[in-house]
Amino acid sequence: MIWTTWIMALREIRRNTMRSILTTLGIVIGVASVIAMVTLGRGATAKITADIASMGSNLLILAPGADRRGPAAQTAPAFKLQDAKAIVREASAVASVAPSATGTQLIVYGDKNWNTSITGTTNDYFEVRGFAFAHGGGFSDAEESTGAAVCVLGETVRHQLFGLQDPIGATIRVGNIPCAVVGTLKTKGHSSFGNDQDDFVAIPLATFQRRIAGNTDVGAIFITTVSDHEARRATWQIQSLMRERRRIAPGGADDFTVEDMKEIAKTLGSVTGALTGLLGAIAGVSLLVGGIGIMNIMLVSVTERTREIGIRLAIGARGREVLLQFLVEAVTLSALGGLVGAVLGLGASYAGAREVGLPFKIAPDVLLLALGFSTTVGIAFGFFPARKAAGLHPIDALRHE
Amino acid sequence: MSTGAAATPLVEFRDVRKVYGKGDSEVRALDGVSFTISDGEFVAVMGASGSGKSTCLNVLGCLDSPTQGAYLFRGVEVGVLSADQLALLRRNFLGFVFQGFNLLARTTALENVELPLVYRRVPAGERRRLALQALADVGLLGREHHTPAELSGGQQQRVAIARAVVTNPSMLLADEPTGNLDSVRKDEIMRILVEMNGKRGITIVMVTHEPDMARFATRTVRFKDGKIAEDVGRAA
Task: Give the model confidence (pLDDT) of B39-77 as tens digits.
Answer: 999 999 999 988 999 899 999 999 988 999 999 999 999
Q: Is residue B32 part of a domain?
A: no
User: What chain A residue is nearest to B101 in terms of C-alpha separation?
Assistant: A311
Mean residue pLDDT across chain B: 91
Instruction: Decide if A319 and B115 are in contact by the 8 Å CB cutoff.
Output: no
The answer, yes or no, to whether residue B165 has pLDDT greater than 90, is yes
Q: Is residue A72 part of a domain?
A: no
Mean residue pLDDT across chain A: 86
How many Cβ atoms are within 10 Å of A331's Cβ, its own excluded? 24
Instruction: Decide if A11 and B111 are in contact by the 8 Å CB cutoff.
Output: yes
Angle, helices B109-119/B124-137, rounded to nearest 10 degrees: 130
Average pLDDT estimate for A211-237: 88
Average pLDDT estimate for A46-60: 75
Tally of domains within chain B: 1
Same domain, A240 and A167: yes
Flag the least confident range among A52-61, A169-178, B169-178: A52-61
Distances (CA, A) of A378 to A344, A370, A375, A387: 19, 12, 5, 14
Instruction: Decide if A311 and B105 are in contact by the 8 Å CB cutoff.
Output: no
Last residue of a domain, one of A221, A254, A287: A254
Average pLDDT estimate for A282-303: 82
Same domain, A42 and A156: no
Residue A67 has a pLDDT of 62
Inform me whether the C-beta atom of residue A180 falls under 8 Å from chain B C-beta atoms.
no
Inform me whether the C-beta atom of residue A164 falls under 8 Å from chain B C-beta atoms.
no
Name the pLDDT band for A69 (thresholds 50, 70, 90).
Answer: low
Residue A205 belongs to what domain range?
A: 77-254
Instruction: Decide if B87 and A8 are in contact by the 8 Å CB cutoff.
Output: no
**Helix (H/G/I), strand (E/B), else coil: B209:** coil
Q: Is residue A312 part of a domain?
A: yes
Inform me whether the C-beta atom of residue B61 falls under 8 Å from chain A C-beta atoms.
yes
Instruction: Decide if B106 and A15 are in contact by the 8 Å CB cutoff.
Output: yes
Residue with more model confidence, A372 or A74: A372
**Helix (H/G/I), strand (E/B), else coil: B113:** helix
Same domain, A297 and A376: yes
Q: Is residue B204 part of a domain?
A: yes
Tally of domains within chain A: 2
Task: Give the model confidence (pLDDT) of A198-207 as tens digits.
Answer: 999 999 999 9
Name the pLDDT band for A73 (thresholds 50, 70, 90).
Answer: very low
A chain contacts of residue B107, beta-carbon cutoff 8 Å: 11, 15
Q: Is there a contact between A387 and A295 (Cβ–Cβ < 8 Å)?
A: no
> Amino acid identity, residue B45?
V
Residue B116 to chain A, least CA–CA distance (Å): 6
- Whether the pTM exceeds 0.95: the reply is no
User: What chain B residue is nearest to A304 in terms of C-alpha separation?
Assistant: B105
**Helix (H/G/I), strand (E/B), else coil: A153:** strand
B chain contacts of residue A321, beta-carbon cutoff 8 Å: 119
Name the pLDDT band for B7 (thresholds 50, 70, 90).
Answer: low
A chain contacts of residue B61, beta-carbon cutoff 8 Å: 314
Average pLDDT estimate for A124-133: 89
Helices and strands in chain A: count of H runs, count of E runs: 14, 10
Q: Is residue A99 part of a domain?
A: yes
The answer, yes or no, to whether residue B132 has pLDDT greater than 90, is yes
Considering all CA atoms of chain B, what is the largest pairwise distance in Å, rounded to the nearest integer?
A: 55
Inform me whether the C-beta atom of residue B113 falls under 8 Å from chain A C-beta atoms.
no
- B18-52: b or e for each residue (b if 16 or more CB lie within 10 Å)? beeeeeeeeebbbbebebebbbbbbbbbbbeeebb
Distance, C-alpha A83 to centroid of its chain:
35
Q: Is residue B20 part of a domain?
A: no
Same domain, A93 and A219: yes
Same domain, A34 and A101: no
Angle, helices A364-390/A319-356, rounded to nearest 10 degrees: 150
Inform me whether the C-beta atom of residue A394 falls under 8 Å from chain B C-beta atoms.
yes
CB-CB: which of B87, B104, B105 is closest to A316?
A: B87
Inform me whether the C-beta atom of residue A10 falls under 8 Å from chain B C-beta atoms.
no
Residue B213 has a pLDDT of 92
Q: Is residue B188 part of a domain?
A: yes
Same domain, A134 and A35: no
Inform me whether the C-beta atom of residue A247 falls under 8 Å from chain B C-beta atoms.
no
Name the pLDDT band for A230 (thresholds 50, 70, 90).
Answer: confident
Inform me whether the C-beta atom of residue B22 falls under 8 Å from chain A C-beta atoms.
no
The answer, yes or no, to whether residue A315 has pLDDT greater than 80, is yes
Task: Give the model confidence (pLDDT) of A88-123 as tens digits.
Answer: 898 888 988 999 999 999 999 989 999 999 999 999
Residue with more model confidence, A128 or A71: A128
Same domain, A186 and A309: no
Last residue of a domain, one of A215, A232, A254: A254
Q: Is residue A71 part of a domain?
A: no
- φ/ψ of A185, rounded to 5, equals -105, 150
Q: Which of B23, B101, B53 is nearest to B229 (CA)?
A: B53
Average pLDDT estimate for B142-169: 95
Q: Is there a contact between B106 and B147 (Cβ–Cβ < 8 Å)?
A: yes
A-interface mutation test, from B115, B167, B173, most A Cβ less than 10 A away: B115
Name the pLDDT band for B2 (thresholds 50, 70, 90).
Answer: very low
Same domain, A84 and A178: yes
The answer, yes or no, to whether residue A150 has pLDDT greater than 90, is yes
Strands B171-175 and B94-97: parallel
Inform me whether the C-beta atom of residue B104 falls under 8 Å from chain A C-beta atoms.
yes
Instruction: Decide if A308 and B118 are in contact by the 8 Å CB cutoff.
Output: no
Q: Is residue A295 part of a domain?
A: yes
Residue B95 belongs to what domain range?
A: 38-64+81-232
Q: Is residue A179 part of a domain?
A: yes
The answer, yes or no, to whether residue A52 has pLDDT greater than 80, is no
Average pLDDT estimate for B111-131: 93
Q: Which of A339, A310, A338, A309 is nearest to A325 (CA)?
A: A309
Same domain, A143 and A210: yes
Flag the least confident range among A46-50, A108-112, A364-368, B35-39: A46-50
Name the pLDDT band for A290 (thresholds 50, 70, 90).
Answer: confident
The answer, yes or no, to whether residue A68 has pLDDT greater than 60, is no
Same domain, A45 and A85: no
Q: Is residue A70 part of a domain?
A: no
Name the pLDDT band for B180 (thresholds 50, 70, 90).
Answer: confident
Distance CA A304, CA A324 (A): 18
Residue B3 has a pLDDT of 46
Residue A269 has a pLDDT of 79
Same domain, A177 and A113: yes
Task: Identify the CATH number of the domain in which residue B139 sits.
Answer: 3.40.50.300
Q: Is residue B25 part of a domain?
A: no
User: What chain B residue is nearest to A392 in terms of C-alpha separation?
Assistant: B83
Average pLDDT estimate for A252-264: 84
Q: Is residue A14 part of a domain?
A: yes
Name the pLDDT band for B182 (thresholds 50, 70, 90).
Answer: very high
B-interface mutation test, from A315, A323, A387, most B Cβ less than 10 A away: A315
The half-sphere exposure of B62 on its side-chain side, counting CA atoms within 13 A, is 33
Distance, C-alpha B183 to centroid of its chain:
21
Average pLDDT estimate for A309-329: 90
Inform me whether the C-beta atom of residue B101 falls under 8 Å from chain A C-beta atoms.
no
CB-CB: which of B63, B106, B121 is closest to A314?
A: B63
Inform me whether the C-beta atom of residue B115 falls under 8 Å from chain A C-beta atoms.
yes
Same domain, A40 and A97: no
Inform me whether the C-beta atom of residue B97 falls under 8 Å from chain A C-beta atoms.
no
Residue B106 to chain A, least CA–CA distance (Å): 7
